[in-house]
Chains A and B, each alone.
Chain A
Amino acid sequence: MSETAATTAGSPAPVSAAAPFESFAVLHREHSELRQRCGKTKADALRDGVAENVRQFIRRAAATGVTLGEPSERKGAQAIIEYWCSELLGLPNPQSGDFKRVRLAEPSDTLQAAGATKAANARPDPETRDVIRLAATARLWRDSGKKGFLLTGDALSHAAKFRSMDDDIEKLVHASQKALQKIWMISTIAAIGGVTAVLLFLFVLVPLLSERAIVAIKKTALRDSNGESVRDSLWQLGLYQPLQKPYDLSGNILYREVKAPGLKLNAPNFSSATFISVDLQGSDLHNASFSNTSITGSNFNGANLSLTQFREANIAGTSFADAGLYRAIFDRACIGEDVNFEGADLRLASFWGATFDDRFPFDSKFRNSPWWLAEGWNSRQIAALLTAEQAGFFESKGFEKHIWPAHVKERAAANSPGASENQLAWDLATWGLPPPATPPLPSPSLSLDQICSSRVTVRASELSRPELALDAAEEAVCIVQRLKKSDSAPNLTWNLANLQDTRAYVLLQSGRSTEAADIYRNEVTPILDKDGGALFRAAVAHQAIDDRDLALAFLKRSVELRYVPSHEMHTLRAYIKGDFQKAIYEQIDRFRPSMPPPAFCQGARS
């Protein structure tokens, strides 16, 4: 470094003792630290020491000039020097040298040229731009009368970092935070208000309105000639139903001319009421109670009446066509001649002790309705029901709606080998397979192993449903048969017998009674000897091959086990004839004796 690297105005001052700072950044850092130290040193005695530090700093800063080529850095360094020269004069006991202006040492020509190039390419760094732009945003907000432009989310967090740098940014951040707080407060108040309103609505208003609607029904029903008032009240109740417990609409209430198709009520209680010309088609009234209710000229077509009770109800001139009557109970009900169950889902419905009008046309009113899946029929009713037309049953709405989707679900959830296939086969079999168009040809007697080994996998969609039933039954049997052969398999004898029961049942319906009888005799009944159903079906299979002794023997054992046939009466009707039929009817009537009709059931004897 030159002896005269730094000069003072007027006279050169030697600065050889002063080492330059490594760079402008270091010089700037030292400047900042010195400012902080000076700001904190108030005692005059200490400030003397500070003055000396300042002088030393000025000397080093001036010497740094030889390393600074970039013009802006040189200008900055000179400004720093001048700042400290001024400060020095404000400190106690200035020296004569303090009154002289110190200039930055000159750099080499090469350094100057390089610095000029660097300066030409200089751009503000991204963070600096961020701060400046943020400040510009803050000013925009300020100048716009402090409307709009408020920050939220990440932008607010980012701006908060720089809030201490600028008043405008501070005010913008403050206003933004206040606005957010306000929004939060409003939201909280709104939420509290909303929750309160909902709670009030749920626990005060809705129960009150529901109660009023029920009272209105009870008060106006008698004089409501066109049913509109009651209908409106019922609609109201339907509206509140998702938030309310089941309604009690029972008692001596007259529902006349009420047109409320599609009404949705959860387990409403209409017990002991009177329905005249009420239209509830397509409604959802599952778990409802119509016990002891008088229903006349009404329409429940397509309604969901699953698990609904019609115990001791008096029903006349009413249609349940295509209605869902799964597990519905018509026990001891009185059913007039013009009550229609056509296409209704009667699975596990109960008609125990139900009285049908003498003239009740079972053949037409139970058309395409799986009455055999219902329970409680006496022999006279079964005999009459067997006349009902069941054509195109697999294509019926009931099958498509209730049986097929359930089967698909079960297949997905099956957790035991062959269970889903067996369930499919069983569903199809109990639903009833159509009789073969032509008697099947005698098939060679094949062992189960032979059957299983020769099975060809065919896509289910390519099979008719009777074929599908047999295919599924065989598949189920073969799966368990294969498993049974492996050493690690549990005892599957009972399972296999159960699956064989299904397979034989399907075979029997398909006209292959010999095979079915063999299976029942050899594979099923030895194992399922306490299963009344299997024994009953074994009896029918042997009846089908004219082995009457064995048929009666199996029938006797099923009676002993108190088995009452249901679906078999329809699916195996071709084999239940003559004395065999008589014996079965006797068996049924033993457990389901005809009962005298209830007093309210005028002219009915069935």
Chain B
Amino acid sequence: MSILPNLRPLVTKDIGAFLNDSDKIRDLVQEATGENPHVNWTNPTLPLGKQISDVLTGLEETKADRWLLTYVLIAALENGPEHDKLRELIVRACPETLITTPKLQQQVERVLADLQQFLVTPVPPNVREEWRLKQTRLQAMVQDTARLFAYKSLHESLHGLKLQLTFGEVLGQATEAHIAIDDALERATLATPLLGADTDEERVELEWMAALKPLGTQLEAAAAAQDGNIERDLIEQVRDLIWPHLIRLNGHVFDAARKLSLPAIVEDPPLDFRTRPEFIDLGYAVHDLKPTVLARALKHRMWQDAEKELPLIDALLDVPGPTKAETINDWFRFKSRILWLAELDPDAGWSVDARTFADQISDAMADAEERDRINIPRENYRKLIAACFFAIGAMLKADCVMLRKVNEPLNAILQELDRV
């Protein structure tokens, strides 16, 4: 799908203004496509909007415009909330970026097929030598997908635990709480080795796991003693322990997705490869796959940011006085952002609830008498955002699982290179 024609001039202009530099355009296009735009599609003396337009025209021929737009979305997110409008514009102009994103499963299968084809074709000795030089890079590729999977698994285990503790399903049922902790630890234990044995990354994760384990044991004991106060205190301690790691892990997930080095497999190929159809197709397939992973990671990051900001707005809305106007402003911006996020997954139907709960909160805010009534929609709104975030996390996790399948042929290639 191409960019909507009526929004295209606006998109090119705004992206040009956002990147604001020919070198930045070149770097971003290169990262997204593996190609230098000033060699292939445009030249750096042109106005920035025109450069973007030229590049998008070139990419549209191979239906690759989504790649660049996804990278622009990521860059906009990393440059702060003031680029909300640019993100909205890009998604509206090209829904394929975040709404109708292609299915990762099909993309992975295409990569696998190309790699399989690649594996069965005999490689001449001189080419084999050339590939041996890229062995480190191939190992990094394998490690990248494993890291992404590991961090997402760790995040998921803590996120699930947090949800159970936050929304009261286990509160007052210490038995359940310690079981949830055990379950989270069990899953974390499985994921941690993928970060690399005896690495700093592994040590960081093992530390919090070690700290969490005794809390689980104490909760079990408190439940046996039926001491509610201790139980509540312990659960609070668990929450205090896991919240920074959740934030940290989410950052790692996003970084791991950003650093996925799959496209490196097609960089600087031996001359013989460059003309082989399966290699050309592999080049397209790996470049097409990464924006899909990035899109999911981007959504994951945005929902996490929203979940992080909600308690702040929630608390500030109750504070009367001169700060109220600014908070109201923040609230309106926030609910718009949530609605936009919810609409990125139309099939899930989140947007209806997001709008309803936000409206109920807004309505109740108008009247001091309604303050008690506001608590229910607020609670619903909190649950909705948490649920959306969790669901997006689960989808990302599924993608990570799918992505790990690529490691199999990559490992085979590495073994082949080792063997020789």
Interface residues of chain A, those whose CB is within 8 Å of chain B, are: 9-10, 24-25, 28-29, 32, 39-40, 42, 70, 72-73, 75-76, 78-80, 82-83, 85-86, 89-90, 94, 98-101, 122-125, 127-129, 131-133, 135-136, 139, 165-167, 169
A-B contact pairs, 21 of them (CB 8 A): A9-B237, A25-B323, A40-B80, A76-B316, A79-B315, A82-B311, A83-B311, A86-B244, A89-B244, A89-B248, A89-B251, A94-B248, A99-B248, A101-B240, A101-B243, A124-B368, A125-B324, A132-B362, A133-B366, A136-B363, A167-B339
Check if B408 is an interface residue, CB within 8 A of chain A: no
Select from chain A the residue with minimum beta-carbon distance to B323.
A28
Select from chain B the residue with minimum beta-carbon distance to A71.
B318
Beyond A86-B308, A89-B248, A122-B320, is A32–B326 a contact (Cβ under 8 Å)? yes
| Interface size grouping (class) on chain B | 35 or more
- Tell me the bound Cα distance from A574 to B346 in angstroms: 113
Chain B min CB distance to A174 (Å): 14
Check if B333 is an interface residue, CB within 8 A of chain A: yes
Q: Does B329 lie within 8 Å of A72, measured CB to CB?
A: no
9 closest A-B pairs (Cβ-Cβ)? A79-B315, A166-B332, A39-B80, A122-B320, A9-B240, A72-B318, A28-B323, A132-B366, A76-B319
- The contact of B322 among A25, A136, A167, by CB within 8 Å, is A25
Chain A residues contacting B324 (CB-CB under 8 Å) are 124-125, 128
- Tell me the bound Cα distance from A99 to B362 in angstroms: 34
Q: B interface, by DSSP: helix, strand, loop or mixed?
A: helix
Contacts A32-B326, A123-B368, A166-B332 known; 14 new A-B pairs at CB < 8 A: A24-B321, A24-B323, A25-B322, A28-B319, A42-B78, A73-B319, A78-B315, A85-B244, A86-B247, A89-B248, A124-B365, A125-B324, A132-B362, A165-B328
Render B66-79 as a binary contact track against A, CB cut-off 8 A, 1 for contact. Answer: 00000000000011
- Tell me the bound Cα distance from A123 to B247 in angstroms: 35
Check if B258 is an interface residue, CB within 8 A of chain A: no
Q: Does A75 lie within 8 Å of B315, measured CB to CB?
A: yes
Check if B81 is an interface residue, CB within 8 A of chain A: yes
- Tell me the bound Cα distance from A131 to B314 in angstroms: 17
Chain B min CB distance to A491 (Å): 82
- The contact of B318 among A76, A139, A166, by CB within 8 Å, is A76
Chain B residues contacting A129 (CB-CB under 8 Å) are 366
- Tell me the bound Cα distance from A66 to B296 in angstroms: 44
- Tell me the bound Cα distance from A25 to B321 in angstroms: 8
- Tell me the bound Cα distance from A308 to B325 in angstroms: 79
Chain A min CB distance to B174 (Å): 20
Select from chain A the residue with minimum beta-carbon distance to B311.
A79
In chain B between 347 and 368, which residues have their CB closer than 8 angstroms to a CB of chain A? 359, 362-363, 365-366, 368
Render B218-256 as a binary contact track against A, CB cut-off 8 A, 1 for contact. Answer: 000000000000000000010010011101100100000
Select from chain B the residue with minimum beta-carbon distance to A80.
B312
- Tell me the bound Cα distance from A125 to B362 in angstroms: 15
Chain B residues contacting A123 (CB-CB under 8 Å) are 320, 368
Check if B336 is an interface residue, CB within 8 A of chain A: yes
Render B290-316 as a binary contact track against A, CB cut-off 8 A, 1 for contact. Answer: 000000000000000000110110111
Check if B272 is an interface residue, CB within 8 A of chain A: no
Beyond A90-B251, A131-B325, A135-B332, is A124–B245 a contact (Cβ under 8 Å)? no
Check if B200 is an interface residue, CB within 8 A of chain A: no
- Tell me the bound Cα distance from A100 to B211 in angstroms: 13
- Tell me the bound Cα distance from A76 to B312 in angstroms: 7
Chain B residues contacting A133 (CB-CB under 8 Å) are 366
Chain A residues contacting B339 (CB-CB under 8 Å) are 167
- Tell me the bound Cα distance from A73 to B324 in angstroms: 11
Check if B82 is an interface residue, CB within 8 A of chain A: yes
